[in-house]
């Protein structure tokens, strides 16, 4: 008999993602954990949310888990198949009309206290130690859409200053987005890691610890953060219910494309 109480960290992350999505929101996701989380949200928490991907596919309802944003399994069950430039125009148009319906999930290699994300290079831009794939659509998304950032919680990733700003957060603090010519009414809302969740103070725009998983602790998170972080508001998060774990394993990702099931 399967043990649905023996959840994994990745399942905890996916459910945490799902809980950030509100009913009726338009949700920009890639594949992997954000798609698993959005699928959980659409099934359990927010049945009227609309899933879209940056390849231009709108209101996706995949029956099987896709492996890329251009996967035919996304195309087969979506409301509209737009070219990519229409997707970019759509997210910009939402901001121009002062709509607040969208939320997006992005990731990267580094993040700083104000939610600026680097997915371009480690080291000097012209002579980097490591070069990554770059923005994709993340810069445009972070410019015009409120974001939730996915990140492994390691000191080398959570650093005082990123080597390169690929996707803008709150730049250098209050008013930073406006000074950079970015919409001031958009920005990162949360960071979901493998240890907990972090949010941003409304006044200082600086990251603080909001919650930690049953498998982690405040001390472990502080130890793995490369800058000073406020922990006064941190609370212990509840373990996921066996019913939602069963949903992920049997209906959403039954082939274990993105989440491997522990052996009983």
pLDDT tens-digit map of 200-254: 999 999 999 999 999 999 999 999 999 999 999 999 999 999 999 999 999 999 9
Give residue 219's pLDDT: 98
Evaluate if residue 159 carries a pLDDT over 80: yes
119 burial (CB, 10 Å; 0-12 / 13-18 / 19+) is buried
Task: Give the number of other Cβ atoms within 10 Å of residue 49's Cβ.
Answer: 20
Quote the CA–CA distance of 179 and 186 in Å, as a whole number.
14
Give residue 62's pLDDT: 83
Give residue 85's pLDDT: 82
Give residue 73's pLDDT: 84
Give residue 67's pLDDT: 83
Give residue 69's pLDDT: 82
* Average pLDDT over every residue of 153-172: 97
Evaluate if residue 264 carries a pLDDT over 70: no
Quote the CA–CA distance of 57 and 46 in Å, as a whole number.
19
Element containing residue 123 per DSSP (H, E):
strand 121-123
Domain boundaries defined on the chain: 9-251
At 1, is the pLDDT very low, low, confident or very high (cuts 50, 70, 90)? Answer: low
Tell me the two tokens of residue 160: 């005082």
* Average pLDDT over every residue of 155-184: 97
Sequence-distant (≥ 6) Cβ neighbours of residue 118 within 8 angstroms = 108, 109, 110, 111, 162, 163, 164, 165, 166
* Average pLDDT over every residue of 120-140: 92
> Which numeric CATH code is attached to 9-251?
3.40.1080.10
Task: For the chain, give the mean pLDDT.
Answer: 93
The per-residue DSSP string of 203-253 comes to TT--EEEEEE-TT--HHHHHHT-SS--B-TT-EEPPPPPHHHHHHIIIIIS
Q: What percent of the chain has pLDDT over 70?
A: 99
Quote the CA–CA distance of 84 and 145 in Å, as a whole number.
16
* Average pLDDT over every residue of 194-201: 98
Evaluate if residue 71 carries a pLDDT over 90: no
At 139, is the pLDDT very low, low, confident or very high (cuts 50, 70, 90)? Answer: very high
Evaluate if residue 27 carries a pLDDT over 60: yes
* Average pLDDT over every residue of 114-135: 94
Evaluate if residue 195 carries a pLDDT over 70: yes
3-class DSSP assignment, residue 192: strand
Give residue 70's pLDDT: 81
Q: Report the catalytic residues.
A: 54
The per-residue DSSP string of 21-44 comes to PPTT-EEE--SSHHHHHHHHIIII
Quote the CA–CA distance of 231 and 238 in Å, as a whole number.
18
Evaluate if residue 61 carries a pLDDT over 90: no
- Greatest Cα pair distance, the chain, in angstroms, is 58
């Amino acid at each position: 008999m399967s043990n649905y109480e023996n959840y994994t960290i990745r399942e905890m992350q996916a459910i945490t993602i799902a809980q950030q999505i509100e009913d009726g929101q338009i949700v920009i996701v890639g594949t992997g954990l954000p798609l698993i989380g959005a699928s959980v949200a659409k099934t359990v928490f927010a049945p009227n949310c609309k899933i879209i991907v940056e390849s231009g596919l709108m209101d996706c309802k995949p029956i099987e888990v896709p492996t890329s944003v251009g996967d035919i399994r996304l195309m087969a069950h979506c409301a509209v198949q737009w070219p990519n430039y229409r997707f970019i125009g759509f997210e910009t148009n939402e901001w121009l009309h002062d709509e607040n319906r969208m939320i997006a999930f992005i990731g990267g290699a580094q993040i700083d206290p104000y939610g600026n994300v680097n997915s371009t290079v480690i080291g000097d831009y012209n002579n980097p130690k490591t070069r990554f794939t770059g923005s994709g659509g993340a810069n445009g998304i972070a410019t015009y859409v409120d974001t939730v950032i996915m990140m492994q919680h390691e000191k080398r990733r959570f650093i005082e200053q990123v080597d390169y700003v690929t996707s803008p957060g709150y730049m250098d603090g209050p008013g930073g987005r406006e000074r950079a010519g970015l919409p001031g009414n958009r920005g990162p809302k949360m960071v979901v890691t493998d240890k907990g969740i972090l949010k941003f103070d409304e006044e200082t725009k600086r990251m603080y610890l909001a919650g930690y998983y049953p498998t982690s602790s405040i001390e472990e998170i502080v130890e793995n953060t490369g800058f000073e972080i406020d922990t006064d508001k941190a609370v212990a998060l509840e373990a996921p219910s066996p019913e939602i774990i069963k949903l992920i394993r049997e209906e959403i990702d039954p082939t274990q494309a993105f989440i491997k099931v522990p052996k009983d």
